[in-house]
Amino acid sequence: MPITSRAIDHQAVLDFIVEQQQSPATACAYLGTDAESIKDDLKGLDQPWTETLHISTAEDGRLTGAVVIEWDEELARSWVYGPWIEQDAWVAHGPALLGTVTSLAPVGDHEMYADVAHREMAELATRCGWRHREANFEYSRTAPVPANELDLQIRPATAEDLPRVRALHEAEFPGTYASAVELLDRAGRYSTLVLDDGDGVRGYVAYQHQGRDGVYLDFITVDPTARRAGIGELLITAAQQCTGRQRIELTVDENRAGARAFYEALGFDQVAATRPYRSPRPNMWAH
């Protein structure tokens, strides 16, 4: 039986997963590279990973692949962890591992996630009719915090800025994970700065502290009529000055070529490029 969920040596599977996680070309992008964190993340899944785990084996019983799934019935979505498969077993075992594990989840929309360097994951998605979604580019920059004073036009956002920040935010990021109200909530998780040139808010940047010495930049938008005048750069500088932190990280969608050029012009390095793959949409007309 090449695909099974029975009599599995969980430690051997964990070792296999950790080994596969070491390279972006074989890793699942939901997990990192550190063995302990991988174990903790798998243990933290909504459904026990040992219960959804399926493996593939060679004829001699050797482990050749593994896959785990987590789902959320309210969101009607699942997230496939893996599959992690030995190089020459993708064609033979990939579709069966994916098909078996997604059939466990009582939801219609499934996702798996990998670096764009993971060729086998992309080919498996194509072979199974899954959609290749837009890639996410991760950028990072570590630079000394500018010693000069904060630009006079930049200040923390206040409740009065809501209409203007909301207009910019919703036009640029419709339906995104954080609303303008959340960005301006002083007790919330985001810090938001605005650039106000006296005639009104021309742009905002929203960020969070990340770890001990980093900043994660969630959103930055400059009014379309005020772009290419240095406002974006001033807002990034201000985020550094206000936090006193040298490292800034962020993620940007594949289709935002202008933003990617902006970050590259400011000295950010692309550190990863990951792509979600989504199962075919359930047939709405099927009964």
The count of chain residues that interact with ligand COA, using the rule CB under 6 A, is 19
Hey, what amino acid is at 175? G
Strand partners, 140: 249, 269
| Using rule CB under 6 A, residue 104 touches ligand COA | no
Q: How far is CA 39 from CA 18, 51, 245, in A?
A: 9, 15, 30
Of 6-14, 75-83, 101-109, 223-231, the window that binds ligand COA (rule: CB under 6 A) is 223-231
- Rounded to an integer, what distance in angstroms lies between the CA atom of residue 275 and that of residue 111? 10
| 54-57 vs 63-72, strand pairing mode | antiparallel
Of 6-14, 19-27, 216-224, 237-245, the window that binds ligand COA (rule: CB under 6 A) is 216-224
- Least CB distance from residue 159 to ligand COA, whole Å? 23
- Least CB distance from residue 109 to ligand COA, whole Å? 25
One character per residue 152-181, x = contact with ligand COA (rule: CB under 6 A) = --------------------x---------
- Rounded to an integer, what distance in angstroms lies between the CA atom of residue 58 and that of residue 86? 10
Nearest to 275 by CA among 178, 138, 174, 139: 138
By C-beta, is 76 or 257 nearer to ligand COA?
257
Nearest to 193 by CA among 182, 181, 207: 207
By C-beta, is 20 or 221 nearer to ligand COA?
221
Nearest to 180 by CA among 156, 154, 157, 153: 157
- Rounded to an integer, what distance in angstroms lies between the CA atom of residue 138 and that of residue 274? 8
- Least CB distance from residue 212 to ligand COA, whole Å? 23
| Using rule CB under 6 A, residue 258 touches ligand COA | yes
Among 6, 212, 228, 281, binds ligand COA (CB under 6 A): 228
- Least CB distance from residue 228 to ligand COA, whole Å? 4
Binders of ligand COA among residues 59 to 78 (CB under 6 A) are none
Of 31-39, 60-68, 207-215, 253-261, the window that binds ligand COA (rule: CB under 6 A) is 253-261
Of 8-16, 84-92, 102-110, 224-232, the window that binds ligand COA (rule: CB under 6 A) is 224-232
Instruction: Please list, in sequence order, all residues whose beta carbon lies within 8 angstroms of the beta carbon of residue 71, skipping any fewer than 6 positions away.
Output: 46, 47, 77, 78, 79, 105, 106, 107
Nearest to 236 by CA among 140, 160, 168: 140
Q: Which residues bind ligand COA (CB under 6 A)?
A: 172, 220-222, 227-233, 250, 252, 256, 258-259, 261-262, 265
